[in-house]
A and B are shown apart, each in its own frame.
Chain A
Amino acid sequence: MTAVPMTGKVTQVRVLHSEWIKLRTLRSTFFTLLAAVIAMIGMGLLFSYVFESQWATMEPQRKADFSAITLPLRGYFLAQLALGVLGVLVISGEYSTGMIRATLSAVPKRLPVLWAKAAVFGAVTLVLMLVTSFVTFFGSQAVLSSRHLQTTLSAPGAVRIVAGTALYLTVVGLLGVALGALIRNTAGAIATVFGLLLVLPVLGEVLPSSWSKHITPYLPSNAGQALLNVRPDPGGMGPWTGFGLFCVYAVVALAAAAYVLRRRDA
């Protein structure tokens, strides 16, 4: 065997590089991100077209609720499914295939793997979704402009909501990474992510309103989506406090994931 000069130590930067290679060398990454992009842009253009073409015959209430900022970005509701799933798969895919044993043998301190996975996936999602959100916004304004329904980035809250959509989706993905590491099983982790994000708010509605008003606004997705309203919901959280709380949920989940990753047998 030839002697290759190899004195390399494991560093966080090298583990980041390794996780970047892993993320970009799976087809599932490409297809899932593509699904998220198509969901955002496609739904945005579709909603804009429907509103633009139905505008003349639309009920006054719907016209009053219309916002040229939020309507085109509603595709995030679908895109979050793709990104939550991909976040889970980044880790659970290693457990289901056995790859995790190779990964943790190479990085036996383990935590650098979790940080690298979260950082790489978070960065990729954030950049891609920022571009996608802005493309969706501008594309939709072009569609809406035929009825002069369009708005601009200088409108109040516009930049916050367009960029915030990408931020919200990134944190959904990170929640997926954390729950994937906590639960390890793909199906279980996906069910948990969407149970938290989609089912809990519905259950919150069932509660008597005297309870509901103290609970519902603080559920993860409701808190996070406060960032995406033009005006705060009455009784809801402010945009940045809401999003801050959503981030706290994700950080707590990641911390729990780090704790069990260190302690459990791989």
Chain B
Amino acid sequence: MIEARGLTKRYGDKTAVDDVSFTVHPGVVTGFLGPNGAGKSTTMRMILGLDRPSAGTVTVNGRRYDQHRAPLHEVGALLEAKAIHTGRTAHNHLLALAATTGIPRSRVEEVVDLVGLRSVARKRAGGFSLGMGQRLGIASALLGDPSTVILDEPVNGLDPEGILWIRNLLKDLAAEGRAVFVSSHLMSEMALTAEHLIVIGRGRLIADTSMREFVEQASRNSVRVRSPHAGRLRDLLAGPEVTVSSSETETLEVRGLTSDQIGQIAAENGVTLFELAPQQASLEEAFMELTSDSVEYRAAERAREEVAV
């Protein structure tokens, strides 16, 4: 269980995390979503006491992280950048971490097998691929059998098999009653694993909602209508709950009416229809719409235009 209250981090005059409050509950996978540079990693570093908040508090299982006497048993974390000495073998890396709280060697062997690193455990971590590094990071996170697991962009650099493995692992960890907090900048990845969503952009909390609600909200249906009488149809469809937009001639994008209703109105007024197609916004589009005002780094306006089309 993680509780952030008014969490703020400023670097000079730049505010990386701005008055963010949220709760990560046990037993569910909570997705932490935001564009690159939104403040996800900074938030996670503050949870772990690596960065000191400029204002606000964050507690894990009711206490500040550095107040725990056995921190590895409370929280296991995989941070974004590799946190491994490149000159040390995976096995020795885990042994050194385990030693800080007296975790036995047998547990080290166990997590090495759990993440599938047995064959390279005696090799120096400097030669590891990104995916192997991620697996070693996850092994470190699970060493203390913690009740809260924090993973920053865990699927980065993993192959499809590794991604599938992570998804199942996250679900299993949550099913065992742990609080699982996973960041990603990929909505599609979150949609497959997370039950709850916390979205931030430019350091501010944008949404804190269940995945189901988010999906429902995102799937505001629109209907694509193509007609030679687009202008007349537009007037006929007009209503208080209805929005009609048009991005090309003869084509309308209608929100607020079902395709059945539009077909009926067209027929009653003798309007010819060439096309009548219900559209569904994807989660990715919904996410980008939600965060479009808070994307820090943008390749011109392209991303936005692609969504709008």
A binds B: yes
**Residue of A with least CB distance to B144:** A6
B49 at the interface (CB under 8 A from A): yes
Stretch at the interface among B63-71, B184-192, B256-264: B63-71
The answer to whether B103 touches A6 (Cβ under 8 A) is yes
Main secondary structure of the interface of A (DSSP, over half): helix
A234 at the interface (CB under 8 A from B): no
In the bound assembly, the distance between CA atoms of A10 and B69 in angstroms comes to 6
In the bound assembly, the distance between CA atoms of A21 and B114 in angstroms comes to 23
The answer to whether A108 touches B48 (Cβ under 8 A) is yes
B220 at the interface (CB under 8 A from A): no
Residues of B within 8 A of A104 (CB): 49-50
**Residue of B with least CB distance to A265:** B51
Residues of B within 8 A of A98 (CB): 79, 81-84
B150 to chain A, nearest CB (A): 10
In the bound assembly, the distance between CA atoms of A214 and B106 in angstroms comes to 60
B19 at the interface (CB under 8 A from A): no
A81 at the interface (CB under 8 A from B): no
A92 to chain B, nearest CB (A): 11
Which residues of B in the span 72-106 have a Cβ within 8 Å of any Cβ on A?
Answer: 72-73, 75, 77, 79, 81-89, 92-93, 95-97, 99-104, 106
In the bound assembly, the distance between CA atoms of A102 and B104 in angstroms comes to 18
A147 at the interface (CB under 8 A from B): no
Residues of A within 8 A of B93 (CB): 102
B145 at the interface (CB under 8 A from A): yes
**Residue of A with least CB distance to B89:** A25
Residues of A within 8 A of B95 (CB): 21, 25
A210 at the interface (CB under 8 A from B): no
Residues of B within 8 A of A17 (CB): 99
In the bound assembly, the distance between CA atoms of A265 and B140 in angstroms comes to 21
The answer to whether B99 touches A102 (Cβ under 8 A) is no
Which residues of A in the span 28-82 have a Cβ within 8 Å of any Cβ on B?
Answer: 28
Residues of B within 8 A of A15 (CB): 99-100
Main secondary structure of the interface of B (DSSP, over half): loop
The answer to whether A108 touches B83 (Cβ under 8 A) is no
A154 at the interface (CB under 8 A from B): no
Residues of A within 8 A of B140 (CB): 102
Q: Return the CB mask of B196-235 against A: 1 if under 8 Å, else 0.
A: 0000000000000000000000000000000000000000
Evaluate whether A10 and B83 lie within 8 angstroms (CB atoms) in the complex, with A25-B96, A105-B50 already known.
no
The answer to whether A102 touches B72 (Cβ under 8 A) is no
Which of A4, A10, A22, A28 is B96 in contact with, Cβ under 8 Å?
Answer: A22
Question: Number of B residues contacting the other chain (C-beta, 8 Å)?
Answer: 46
Residues of A within 8 A of B104 (CB): 4, 6
B275 at the interface (CB under 8 A from A): no
Residues of A within 8 A of B68 (CB): 108
Q: Return the CB mask of B51-63 against A: 1 if under 8 Å, else 0.
A: 1100000000000
The answer to whether B66 touches A21 (Cβ under 8 A) is no
A266 at the interface (CB under 8 A from B): yes
B296 at the interface (CB under 8 A from A): no
B176 at the interface (CB under 8 A from A): yes
Which of B87, B102, B114, B145 is A28 in contact with, Cβ under 8 Å?
Answer: B87
Question: Number of A residues contacting the other chain (C-beta, 8 Å)?
Answer: 37
In the bound assembly, the distance between CA atoms of A104 and B66 in angstroms comes to 10
Which of A2, A14, A102 is B101 in contact with, Cβ under 8 Å?
Answer: A14
A27 at the interface (CB under 8 A from B): yes
Residues of A within 8 A of B255 (CB): none
In the bound assembly, the distance between CA atoms of A19 and B95 in angstroms comes to 10
B297 to chain A, nearest CB (A): 22
**Residue of A with least CB distance to B76:** A105
B110 at the interface (CB under 8 A from A): yes
B202 to chain A, nearest CB (A): 20
The answer to whether A106 touches B71 (Cβ under 8 A) is yes
B107 at the interface (CB under 8 A from A): yes
A101 at the interface (CB under 8 A from B): yes
In the bound assembly, the distance between CA atoms of A1 and B144 in angstroms comes to 11
Which of B49, B73, B92 is A25 in contact with, Cβ under 8 Å?
Answer: B92
In the bound assembly, the distance between CA atoms of A7 and B100 in angstroms comes to 12
The answer to whether A108 touches B71 (Cβ under 8 A) is yes
The answer to whether A97 touches B70 (Cβ under 8 A) is no
The answer to whether B101 touches A9 (Cβ under 8 A) is yes
In the bound assembly, the distance between CA atoms of A28 and B88 in angstroms comes to 10
**Residue of A with least CB distance to B125:** A97
- List the 7 shortest-distance A-B pairs measured between CB atoms, nearest first: A8-B102, A108-B66, A18-B99, A25-B92, A102-B83, A8-B101, A99-B85
A→B interface (CB under 8 Å)? 1-4, 6-10, 14-15, 17-19, 21-22, 25-28, 93-94, 97-102, 104-109, 263, 265-266
Beyond the given A101-B83, A107-B100, please list 9 additional residue pairs across the A-B interface where CB-CB is below 8 A.
A6-B70, A6-B101, A8-B102, A14-B99, A14-B101, A22-B92, A102-B83, A105-B71, A108-B68
A-B contact pairs, 8 of them (CB 8 A): A1-B114, A6-B144, A15-B100, A25-B95, A102-B93, A102-B140, A105-B49, A106-B101
